[in-house]
């Protein structure tokens, strides 16, 4: 039997809705790690469905390293202004800027890179998780890294 604390913990870890966390835990028979994997799979499926939707709004985010010698800028797109202003979307943009500053990816390689904060995920996984969490298509439109 799944208890409320398990659902709360999974929700805190993933940011996915309570009902989806409950379904994943039930399917995983209470195993938290299996439930997270199930949620990741569902997130990928959702991201695939959302990818056809137009992402015409978004933000430009920047990061400048404390030494003032490296910086990164990204144009991250979503579907609505409401999501563009959300904490989750802005945190994703910041994480992507950190990745760009640290790893200096080629134009097409960003999404396939391992995330610097958790090498069990790629940047594509990170974006898909955010899509699953907020329910909108997200597109990395363009980015640039600067270094002196």
Which pLDDT tens digits describe the chain residue by residue (148 residues)?
A: 788 888 888 888 877 778 888 888 888 888 888 888 887 777 766 666 666 678 889 999 999 999 999 999 999 999 999 999 999 999 999 999 999 999 999 878 999 999 999 999 999 999 998 988 888 899 999 999 999 9
CA atoms of 1 and 5, how far apart (whole Å): 12
Cα-only R_g, the chain = 16
What are the domain boundaries of the chain? 4-50, 57-147
* CATH no., domain 57-147: 3.30.479.20
Q: pTM surpassing 0.75?
A: no
* CATH no., domain 4-50: 1.10.8.10
Residue 2 vs residues 12, 14, 39, 70, 76: alpha-carbon distances, Å: 16, 17, 16, 47, 37
């Amino acid at each position: 039997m799944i208890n409320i604390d398990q659902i709360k913990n999974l929700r805190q870890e993933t940011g996915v809705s309570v009902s989806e966390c409950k379904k994943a835990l039930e399917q995983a028979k209470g195993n938290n790690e299996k439930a997270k994997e199930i949620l990741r799979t569902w997130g990928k499926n959702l991201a695939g469905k959302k990818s056809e939707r137009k992402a015409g709004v978004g933000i430009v985010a920047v990061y400048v390293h404390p030494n003032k010698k490296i910086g990164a800028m990204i144009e991250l797109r979503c579907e609505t202004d409401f999501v563009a202003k959300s904490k989750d979307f802005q945190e994703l943009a910041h994480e992507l800027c950190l990745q760009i500053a640290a790893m200096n990816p080629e134009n097409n390689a960003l999404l396939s890179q391992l995330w610097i904060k958790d090498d069990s995920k790629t940047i594509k996984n990170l974006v898909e998780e955010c899509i699953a969490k907020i329910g909108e298509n997200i597109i990395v439109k363009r980015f640039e890294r600067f270094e002196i």
